[in-house]
Amino acid sequence: MGRARPMFDMGDSLAAAQSFRMAQEFVERAKALDTLQDLAGLLEATAKDMSFDYYALIHHVDHRLSVNGAASVRLENYPRPWVERFLAQQLYSWDPIHIASYATNLAFAWSDVPEMINLSRKHKAVLASAADEGLGDGITVPANLPGEANGSCSFAVRTGKSLPREHMGTVQLIGAFAFQMARNLALEATRSIKTHERISLSPRQLDCILLAGRGKSDWEIATILGIKEDTVTEHMNTARERYGVARRMQLVLRVVHDGQIALSDLL
């Protein structure tokens, strides 16, 4: 009569302890970092320690619109040809890894994504393109907070290499903490830039932004202020350029955050 496998396995216990130690070491080292560049270096070293070839800690936004001082984060060492294709062809809109990350808060393997979402032809094409550029399987930890852009922290292997699934738990712990650290460091950098480079807007620009925040179009703003519609558009474009944002509502939120317009004024 065969012996039943014990409910508490010593091997599992040792693996769990090793996973916790690795995550704890990452946390302690991360706490001493001052910049996002320092965090990128730690992520790369940690990826190698876990037998991964690549890492990526990113907000799921169009990073071509990012400017100095923006709080969005993109730290990665993916193959350059893949990164260039991903951004140029805007493949983030069809990235099945990103889409799958919106359905869970737990770490998952890329090779398990077909079981999580229905893959369309475009989704499969993104995965095939990544594999062609040397990016194989990986593990992703979602980082989704209400009111913020979605993001994730991933560790991946080159095409053809086996995924070290034994580090799934370690990646979960490290990925969640790493993204929080990246968020904090990005916000600190943004505050530092704002402290040294206070963005100033003219009273007329603030008038236009205030009315835009109340839902008025450029034509309506021009009518209310008694100026030309082209002048309103110019004021709004200039203000967006100074803040480095692409949309008028982003501009309104940034101006309110800086205290140049009170939230009560918008209401």
pLDDT in tens, 218-251: 999 999 999 999 999 999 999 998 888 888 888 8
From 157, 114, 160, select the one nearest 138 (Cα to Cα).
Answer: 157
Distances (CA, A) of 51 to 11, 15, 139, 227: 20, 15, 12, 63
What six digits make up the tokens of 255? Answer: 């101006």
What's the fold here for domain 198-266? Answer: Arc Repressor Mutant, subunit A (1.10.10)
Sign of the dihedral through C-alpha 70, 75, 80, 82: negative
DSSP assignment string, 155-207: EEEETTSPP-GGGHHHHHHHHHHHHHHHHHHHHHHHHHHHHHS-----HHHHH
- In this prediction, residue 204 carries a pLDDT of 94
- The type of residue at 169 is G
Answering whether pTM is above 0.75, one says: no
Return the axis-axis angle of helices 168-196 and 10-31, rounded to nearest 10°: 10
- In this prediction, residue 196 carries a pLDDT of 45
The owner of tokens 């890492």 is 55
What's the fold here for domain 15-194? Answer: Beta-Lactamase (3.30.450)
β-pair partners for 75:
57
Cα gap 216→219, rounded to integer Å: 8
Q: What are the sequence ranges of the domains in the chain?
A: 15-194, 198-266
Give 244's contacts (C-beta < 8 A, 6+ positions apart).
67, 68, 69, 70
264-267: Cβ within 8 A, 24+ apart: 265/210, 266/210, 266/213, 266/214
Please report which helix (H) or strand (E) contains residue 235, including its range: helix 229-243
What six digits make up the tokens of 260? Answer: 């140049």
Cα gap 48→101, rounded to integer Å: 23
Confidence of residue 211 (pLDDT cuts 50, 70, 90): very high
pLDDT tens, residue by residue, 66-118: 444 446 789 999 999 999 988 888 887 889 999 999 989 899 999 999 999 99
What six digits make up the tokens of 141? Answer: 């930890």
Maximum distance among all alpha carbons in the chain? Answer: 93
